[in-house]
Amino acid sequence: MRVPFYRHSLPASSATLVAEVIESGFLTSGQRCSRVEDQLCAIFGTSHAKLTSSWTQGAVAVLLALGIGPGDEVIVPAMTFVATANVVKQVGARPVFVDVDPATLLIDITLVRAAVTPETKAVIPVHLYGQMVDIPALRGVLRPEIKIIEDAAHCFEGRRAGRRPGQDGDAAIFSFYATKNVTCGEGGAVVTNDAELAANLKETVLHGMSAAAAQRFSGGRYQHWDVTRLGTKANLPDLLAVLLETQLDTVDERLARREFLAQRYEESFAGTPLGVPTIEAGVVSARHLFPIHVPGGHRDRVMRMLNDQGIGATVNYRAVTELSLYRNDPSVPRNGFPVSIDWGEGTLCLPLFPGLREEEQDYVLNVLRYEVLPSLGSHAIEERGVAAL
Q: What is residue 323's three-state secondary structure?
A: coil
> CA-to-CA distance for 147 and 194, rounded, in angstroms?
11
> CA-to-CA distance for 242 and 33, rounded, in angstroms?
7
> CA-to-CA distance for 317 and 359, rounded, in angstroms?
27
> CA-to-CA distance for 353 and 288, rounded, in angstroms?
8
Give the CA diameter of the chain: 74
Q: What is residue 3's three-state secondary structure?
A: strand
Please tell me which residue in 50, 180, 202, 233 is annotated as part of the active site.
180
Q: Which residues contact 265 (CB under 8 A, 6 or more apart)?
A: 276, 290, 292, 350, 352, 361, 365
Q: Which residues contact 115 (CB under 8 A, 6 or more apart)?
A: 75, 96, 98
Residues 188 and 51: beta-carbon distance below 8 Å: yes
Q: What is residue 338's three-state secondary structure?
A: helix
DSSP string, 264-312: HHHHHHTTSS-B-PPPPTTEE-----EEEE--TT-HHHHHHHHHHTTB-
Active site residue 233: no
Distances 304 to 2, 21, 301, 310, 315 between C-alpha atoms, Å? 14, 43, 5, 10, 12
- Annotated catalytic residues are 180
